[in-house]
């Protein structure tokens, strides 16, 4: 599975990406998890299965859903507490649940 996290600039979210990668199980090590600015999502959308928005860009959720909803990919906002605490394991499980329940 490939997961993209989008935020304002892609920088703060890269810390969470690192923690999510550390939470991967051995059979998940080939998964791709990256962070990019929300404005660049159209360049990357086809490479990913799940789209997670950082809480700081949660106001863009409806626009992202409108633009990319037809892809059928789950799109959701990361829980602000999990984001702020850098809880990579919880955010990873959230992405897996979104993919499994799409």
User: Contact, 23 vs 88, CB < 8 A?
Assistant: yes
Rounded mean pLDDT, 71-94 = 96
Instruction: Give me the residue spans of the domains in the chain.
Output: 2-100
Three-class secondary structure of residue 51 per DSSP: strand
Q: How far apart are CA 49 and CA 27, in angstroms?
A: 17
Q: Is the pLDDT of residue 84 over 70?
A: yes
The pLDDT, as a whole number, for residue 102 is: 80
Q: Indicate if the alpha-carbon torsion angle 67, 68, 72, 78 is positive or negative.
A: negative
- Looking at the DSSP bridge assignments, the partners of residue 34 are 4
**Using only C-alpha atoms, what is the Rg of the chain?**
12
The pLDDT, as a whole number, for residue 9 is: 76
The pLDDT, as a whole number, for residue 52 is: 98
5-48 pLDDT, tens digit per residue, is: 999 876 678 899 999 999 999 999 999 999 999 999 999 999 99
Question: What CATH number should be reported for the domain whose range is 2-100?
Answer: 3.40.50.2300
The residues annotated with a catalytic role in the active site are 7
Rounded mean pLDDT, 73-79 = 98
User: Contact, 31 vs 2, CB < 8 A?
Assistant: yes
């Amino acid at each position: 599975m490939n997961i993209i996290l989008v935020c304002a600039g892609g920088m703060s979210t890269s810390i969470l990406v690192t923690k999510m990668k550390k939470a991967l199980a051995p059979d998940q090590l080939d998964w791709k998890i990256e962070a990019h600015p929300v404005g660049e999502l159209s360049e990357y959308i086809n490479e990913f299965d799940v789209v997670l928005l950082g809480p700081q860009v949660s106001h863009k959720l409806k626009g992202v859903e409108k633009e990319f909803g037809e892809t059928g990919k789950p799109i959701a906002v990361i829980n602000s507490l999990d984001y702020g605490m850098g809880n990579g394991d919880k955010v990873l499980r959230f992405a897996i649940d979104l993919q499994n329940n799409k």
